[in-house]
Amino acid sequence: MEALSELEQLLDHHGSRFLEVPRSKTPSGISLVGVPYDGTTSYRPGTRFGPEAIRAASIGLETYSPEQDADYTDGEVVDLGNLDVPYGGATPVINQVREAVGAIVDLDGIPLVLGGEHSITAGIVEALVARYPDLLVIQLDAHADLRDGYLGEHYSHASAMRRCLDALGEGGQLLQVGIRSGERAEFQELRESGRWLPASAEQLHSRLDEFSGRPIYVTLDLDIFDPAYFPGTGTPEPGGIDWATFAALLRTIPGDRMVGADVMELAPQLDTSGVSSVLAAKATRELIIKIQSQG
Ligand SMILES: [Mn+2]
């Protein structure tokens, strides 16, 4: 029960909710938690407004997914609300995320984290690796995020995957899908490491064969989508994917092995049409249903 009271202290229980998912202070099944933080954002800020925008936009969505022929109400889902994070440097926030996700996992919840900026993922993965040392992280993203710190910040959002690799150590694995932006050294590492693959369902499917039976974490940086479909993000990068490609990628991932996921980098005010928030909410619904699915 210690983890539960610790978690309760970390959560803010006001505000809207995702679809019709009940608010709860206790993790149960898939447990949504928002992290409204954008303190290391290097270009255009605003992802701190992501979690609430995803919840607000979800009102326009159905609970049923035709693509997966399932309804999220078929399984257990709760919305824990947002972490009450301090603004400023990233380290206190990452510590809080690690503690909260650790508590969710200790209470047998499956974390589904709504960002916020991508640096947050390091705290999540650090917590998950403690429970799942052979974790496979699948990164869907435009950016390599392999810098070893950026602009003086160890936990920068430009270092998200470097910090995840630190956490994964020898036992864990990372696949970096759809990456199309980074510096020369990052791409050299991507090519040499074998971790890099295009946003192709066929290629992801065949790579996943190497990791059969391992627990999977999916980190979705929404800027993997083309700015034409998803302009509401801080560092948009032309040349991205469309919804159909995302759905195909998701189909290849075995949901019954997923131990968590996140949806990062929505900056809702950068898209006055609101469509980016709707896409983020739909991606969140699809991830919930994917985790609930047996395949
Ligand atoms: Mn990115």
- 168-206 confidence digits (pLDDT tens): 999 999 999 999 999 999 999 999 999 999 999 999 999
Give me ligand 1 centre to Cα 225, in Å: 10
DSSP-derived 3-state class of residue 152: coil
pTM comes to: 0.94
Q: In this structure, which residues have their CB less than 5 angstroms from ion ligand 1?
A: 141-143, 221, 223
Ligand 1 center to residue 107 CA distance, Å? 30
Ligand 1 centroid – CA 62 distance (Å):
28
- pLDDT of residue 6 exceeding 70, the answer is yes
Query: What's the gap in Å between 21 CA and the centre of ligand 1?
Result: 28
Pick 11 or 130 by higher pLDDT. Answer: 130
Q: How far is the CA of 17 from the centre of ligand 1 (A)?
A: 26
Ligand 1 centroid from CA 223, angstroms:
5
Which pLDDT score, from 0 to 100, does residue 4 have?
A: 83
- pLDDT for the residue 294: 77
Going from the Cα of 34 to the center of ligand 1, the distance in angstroms, rounded, reads 18
Query: Is pLDDT above 90 for 53?
Result: yes
| pLDDT beyond 80 at 130 | yes
Q: Which of 6-15, 30-39, 257-266 has the lowest mean pLDDT?
A: 6-15
* Packing angle of the helix pair 201-208, 243-252 (nearest 10 deg): 20
In this predicted structure, what is the pLDDT of residue 134?
98
Of 112, 14, 16, 18, which is closest to residue 61 (Cα–Cα)?
18
**Is residue 15's pLDDT more than 70?**
no
Report residue 20's pLDDT band, with 50, 70 and 90 as the boundaries.
confident
Band (3; pLDDT cuts 50, 70, 90): confident
Q: Residue 140 C-alpha to ligand 1 middle, in angstroms?
A: 8
Distance 188 CA to ligand 1 centre (A): 18
Strands (E), the chain: 11-12, 30-35, 64-65, 70-71, 77-83, 110-115, 136-140, 173-177, 196-197, 216-221, 258-264
Asked if pLDDT for residue 26 goes beyond 90, the answer is yes
Q: What is the pLDDT of residue 42?
A: 77
Rg (CA), the chain: 17
